Every structure is written in structure tokens, then in C-alpha cells.
Amino acid sequence: MTVRLTSARQREVWRVLRRSGLRGLAQRAARVAYQRLGASDLDGLLDLDHLTDSRGLNLASPQQRPAPGTPLTVGWICTPPGRGSGGHTTLFRMVEGMEAAGHTCVLYIHDVFSGELVRHERVIRENWPGMRAEVRAVASGLAPLDAYVASGWETAHVLASHATLPTRRLYFIQDFEPWFYPAGAHYVLAEDTYRFGFRSITVGPMLADLLRDRFGVEARVAEFGCDTDIYRLTNPAPRTGVVFYAKRDSARRGFMLGVLALREFHRRHPEHQIHIFGDPTVTMPFPATNHGVISPAKLSELYNQCASGIAISLTNLSLVPDEMLACGVIPVVSESAYAKTSMDNPYVRWASPAARGLADALSGAVQPGRPFPAAVAASIRSTPWDAAKRATRETIEDEVYGPQ
């Protein structure tokens, strides 16, 4: 098929080529195809058969409880994991904690794109080798296990849609997920999951406070941990340079806010090298070194080169501030009244989640007289992930065995 371009269209093509190159032209073409093919539907693809409504929800539960101390079999419903997924890593730590206590765990993969289960299992075995759980597909049905744990709003709908399944239901919550979306159907569906009546466990107190204030839900808090075997101080010398997790496809990471803040920071401090990581395709409108997707060990090495960094997470406090602190980096964290309940470290610089506020805080963190990296690293809270594992295990056991 021959495509004929009008003279006006030809001039537009040349303008794009001159301004943005072949990559920019290809992006424009992909955008047109994306719109004409309705590909935006894939961004929020849902399985309609697994959506439910909190109103009139009647969930079956087992008629009898096992004796305390009886080994349990627990199902964990999650979306397909990808290499380096922080949310899956935290969830799978909890699975390992249950297995270490003598319980059996089964992972149920909810894949709306009907991917091959063998591929998902290979990713899991290669990247989380410490977890022994059997891997099954939600599409094959949910067995009548002692308990199930939903790990996100879509999987909470999956669990609620199996209303006649006699089991105990829990909800492991790592973000206030309605904030993933603008006001609309996905926001409403995500928010409704907090009304399902599942026993809730939140990562950090911020989410527990939100659930209590907005929905009257009391949740058990699994405190943040930090992998100090990986993230640790190796360079105690004074440093220059800043770092940013540049994840543009995750709205909660505030990518554009970080870009604007770093542009202003570079204008003020051109002598400081800027490092970004998380997405190898990102280019910045100022000099910056893109490290792409890197392993935790390499990330620790990068942190140990930097004086400060931006840690934006708008739906819950993330693991990044603790990991930066452990490496002697002063984190600039987006401020919220709820987030401050999760972290009281004196070296954290809280900033309004706007470009100038972040740039001001970042500038302050690299000024002469700033704390030495060794002092920053020594301030890290020493909470291991064992505490979160214990809180999760105890909550599941209490839900299944009943109050003791």
C-alpha cells in the first residue's frame, strides 16, 4: 500500500525530523496508531467476570477452624511479576515468612492478558529463588484453602468474586491504589475493595491511617524493612551529585515533577552530576547519566557516589528513602501529613511535591556543611523485614485460627 502525503503533511514530517529525529517521528507514528487502534483499553484492561460490588457482598467462610498450630495452606493472588518489581519482592518476602513458619503457600497469578503460566513461573524462580510456593493460574480456579491473601485491588476483586468459596480472606496493601488513577471507573473500583471486609495488613502506618480515617477499617501494620546487607555505606567520603528514580510509566513516582526539579537544580548547581535509573529510554533536557534498570547491588554502588536524591512516591512512602539513608544519601521526600507518620529520620528533607519545593530541598542537601555520609547511614532504622513477616504471619494465623 502506498501512502501519499500532502505537502502540508510533508512539511510537518520534516519539522519533526529536524526537531526530534527519527525517534521522535517514530513516537508520533506510534501515538497515532495507538489512538486509532484503541490501544488505550489495554492500559486498564479488566476481567469483567472478576469484578464485584461491596454492596450486598456475602462471602462464605469455613464452618470450622483448625486447631491453633495446625500447618495452614495459604493462597496469595498477585499479578504477573517482572524482574526488579519492588511490590512483588515485598509480597514474596511475606510468603517466605509463612513458609519459614511451616505453612504451605500457593501463588495464584491473575493475568488479564492470558500469558503462559510457565513463563511467569520461570520469572519467579529466577528472581525470587528463596520462595518455594507452587504457582497456579487464577483462570484454572481457586481451591478451597485455609486462607487467601489479595495483593492489589484487582486481585481483591478476584477474591471477592469467588464469594461461595469457604475460606478466610485477607488483603496485603502496599499503596493507596485509587490514587493510581484519575477520577473514573478504575478509581471507584479500587476504592471499593476497602469495603469488602477483608482482614487488612498495610505496609507502613500511612496506609493504616488512611484506611481508618476514610473507611473505618482497622489494619495491622507491617513495618517497612531495609535490606542493609545490600544497601550499606561503602564510601564514607564527602560526595557530590544527585540521583533520581526516573520511572515515567508509574504516575505515583512523579516523573515530570522530578524532571522539572532537576532542571532547576542543574541551573543552580551545574557542578553536580545528575544520575537517573529505572528506565533506559528516558532522556533529560539537561546533562544526566542514565543507568537504566540496575540490580540492587549496583544501585547501592550508585547511591554511594551521591550526596542526595529525590524519592517521590505519592501513594505510600516507598523503600527508596531508607535505602538511600543506608548508603549515606540525604533523601528529598515528597511531603504529606500521612507520609510523615512512616518516617521520622532527622536527615530526611521533606518538600512540597512541586518542582521548586523539591529543587529547594535538593539544593539545601548539597550545600557546604551538610552531614557526613557516615552520620546519615548511622541514622537508619534497623527494622529488619522479619518484623513485617511476623506481623503478616500472625494476622493470617489469627484470622484462620480465631481469637486465642
Confidence of residue 39 (pLDDT cuts 50, 70, 90): very low
Whole-number Å distance between alpha carbons of 222 and 172: 9
Picking from 24-28, 146-150, 327-331, 391-395, which range would have the lowest pLDDT averaged per residue? 24-28
Number of helical (H) and strand (E) elements in the chain, helices listed first: 12, 13
What order do you get walking across the sheet with 199-203 strand by strand?
A: 134-137, 104-109, 73-78, 147-150, 168-173, 199-203, 220-222
| 49: number of Cβ within 10 Å | 8
Residue written as grid cell 527519527: 22
User: CA 261 from chain center: how many Å?
Assistant: 22
pLDDT tens for 190-201 read 999 999 999 999
Statement: residue 273 has pLDDT above 50: yes
Statement: residue 13 has pLDDT above 90: no
Q: What is the CA radius of gyration of the chain?
A: 23
Fold assignment, 242-378? Rossmann fold (3.40.50)
What pLDDT is recorded for position 1?
A: 42
The pLDDT of 136-164, averaged and rounded, is: 97
pLDDT tens for 222-236 read 998 888 889 999 999
| Positions of CATH 3.40.50.2000 in the chain | 242-378
What pLDDT is recorded for position 227?
A: 86
DSSP state of 72: -
CATH of 48-225+386-401, one of 3.40.190.10, 3.40.1110.10, 3.40.50.11090, 1.10.10.10: 3.40.50.11090
pLDDT tens for 237-266 read 999 999 999 988 888 889 999 999 999 999
Q: Residue 317: which of 190, 227, 222 has the closest Cα? A: 222
Whole-number Å distance between alpha carbons of 266 and 342: 30
- Length of the chain counted residue by residue: 404
| Positions of CATH 3.40.50.11090 in the chain | 48-225+386-401
pLDDT tens for 336-390 read 878 877 788 899 999 988 899 999 999 999 998 889 999 999 998 767 899 999 9
Statement: residue 319 has pLDDT above 50: yes
DSSP 13-49: HHHHHHHHHHHHHHHHHHHHHHHHTTGGGGGG---GG
What pLDDT is recorded for position 190?
A: 97
